[in-house]
Structure 1
Amino acid sequence: MSRTRVVVTGLGTTNPLGGDAATTWEGMVAGRSGVRRLSEIPGTEDWPELAVSIAAPAAVDPTDVLERVRARRLDRSSQLALVSAMEAWADAGLEQPQADGELDGDRIGIAMASGIGGVQTLLSNYDVMLAKGPRRVSPLAVPMLMANAPAATLSLQFGARAAVNTPVSACASGNEAISLAADQIRLGRADIVVAGGTESAIHPLPMAAFANMMALSKNAGDPATVSRPWDTARDGFVLGEGAGALVLESYEHARARGARIYAEVLGTGITADSHDIAQPDPEGRGGTRALQRALADGEISPSDVAHVNAHATSTPQGDVAESLMLHAVLGAHAEEIVVTSTKSMTGHLLGGAGAVEGVATVLALHHRLSPPTINLDNLDPAVELDIATKPRDLPLGDIVALNNSFGFGGANVAVAFGSV
């Protein structure tokens, strides 16, 4: 593969902290939580009683942003993806929508991931069928619920006719999309790729399923304090929803049009555990190899790494395994880097997590500032990392930040971003 430089020229997100990148970044730096009680979330009034009482919904309803007719033809996951991608596209200084022919659609790609897909559409139409009969099922149900609906929606929005991909690797999906997008540019198949991930699974069925497998926190206390990565009192993740999008572009293409560059994608690594369908390898061997591959791909020395936006979901096993990975790859330097988990504020966005955290990682490099991990009162002694509990300055000069994502099925993805 060529060593074509891949850079980030646009950012967009909508998630529990805000409806755009600027508001989200402000919330992260301020250490604000987007977690709420289910009773405070519209539409949950008729839900059955669950073992879980909290979730992290998007702060801005996407139907308040999109045209009404268009929004009704999209699953909520596609709505969130479209909102975030439109922001990223405009932030990159590109036409919105791409219509006047200045860009070659054959050189524009999409890599928009989802871990579950259009589950809201699937389950709501099943309810309609049971209550009113098969003929009342929406004729748009399949194009709304299919996993590649968000990516297809973006392809239509931006006139993208290069590869339009939908990585599906559970909670690693969003980060895998960034890796895939970088590969498409390096392979010469596209000049611009809109990459990211989306998820909207706050629904009683997936929440009951996650709760029954002991993955979700059942803490009924203050919602803002429940997501607590690395803390000794952590007992599971908080389910959130949202999307993140990054415009990736070849350096030559970005420079030719005078685009602002936030950061560079230096290297990526993708591996699998082949250990268990849900539990991580307790020694973190698969994740270790993903990190090693990302550093090797970017020709990065461990001493170059200054910051890590960790996957750290607030689960007992996963948080410790990730600490072991970082020590295995970075050696003694692992204790010198600034580590954070923005899931402490957003909850876990599943297929959208890696993308929203990719946006946060790029902004951390851009502003030379690590957002904090909130709710870390008592660090697990098995975790030997320097975790930021307040905003922390990052070094000047050329530095690297890692964005880690791990998912059910043993999926591991690491993306290394470099400062510019």
Structure 2
Amino acid sequence: MSFAALGLAEPLLQTLAGLAYRTPTPVQQQAIPAVLAGRDLLVAAQTGTGKTAAFALPLLQRLLGETTAVGAGMVRVLVLVPTRELAEQVCASFVRYGAGLPLSCYAAYGGAELGPQMKRLGSGVDVLVATPGRLVDLFTKGAVRFRELRALVLDEADRMLDLGFANDLDILFQALPRQRQTLLFSATFAANVGELAGRRLQKPLRIEATPRNTAAKTVKQWVVPVDKKRKTELFLFMRRDRGWRQVLVFVKTKKGCDELLARLQAKQIAADTIHGDRPQASRQQALEAFRAGAVEVLVATDVAARGIDIDGLPQVVNFDLPLQAEDYVHRIGRTGRAGQAGEAISFVAADEAPLLAAIEALLRKPLSRDEEPGFEPCHHVPPTAPGSPAKARPVAARPGAPARAPRSNWVDEFAGGRKARSAPRKPGNRGR
């Protein structure tokens, strides 16, 4: 099937041809005609499958049918997203797909000065991409009005609810016109998302381009059991041993981000962080440096799990498991995008077994456990797969590398290259 067969206008088709977009993805094949027809949609699709284009392309075409310019302070298409990074990314997609069209797009989010955003919105925008909290601020100050709104998109609605935006969404829904098209897109659907859709969408068409709460088949996933205090050593060893050159590392807290960054920089590794305490400009600078290869290791909290889109990202490392199982899907969705191969490696300590169990229940399959020789944990990670305890096995050496001895023969990254002691554990030490 071609994009032309979906009913897109010639200017959009020319832009897509220039971008080398030749064949629509499954979610685009199903969603684009429905959006053009004015239907409300409830869409489940894996991250990296082209869902932004699935709503951006048909909405741009519908805007082309408007006969008058957007009014002062008005918005015609509103896209709500959970994070600043995703707001920038989605707005950039609208600009890219709408190249050459007489339409405007603007991104508004917290962490940036309110004044410039109010000034820009004063002249009106065709497409506004915003985080809910900042949009409520702009609305209450009279900087934006919704009388001309045609369509609302909720992108990553489950994450917005997880981040506590439910009250902001209620305020905004009260302000929006009842006659509108509403599109809800997400890679995962939790129960609260279904409740939101039931209250806010009008007879929505349900589209499941991929099974719910699943990761792309192109992503190889496995677990490395390790004691918590040795995770940094393990990461440094695996990075050197496997020759990793570009790695996105997820940690649980902002403090954990900064601590890992300090350890990496002490080893002269080009690294940076993205988390909620960093100014937006710094976060964007870190992301661009990572894209360009100037930063080899980007350490992030879950604030970045849905706002990073990097072509060909080879590895994602879960230094800590996420507290919400659904976030695991979004984290590893940063690799293996658009059909490319990727790896997702999770370092799991004994106290993270319940989190691992929740992830495996969500995925409906156990994750392989591959112990790294020399890093076998003293504190055993309990079985998590019901009825079939996962058996840890040594990790295979990288292709072409000589086989490693099954015991500790690794180089201590924190000892200036000295070989670590390989004395056997004493009986009874396990679990201390």
Return the TM-score normalized by structure 1: 0.26
TM-score by length of 2: 0.26
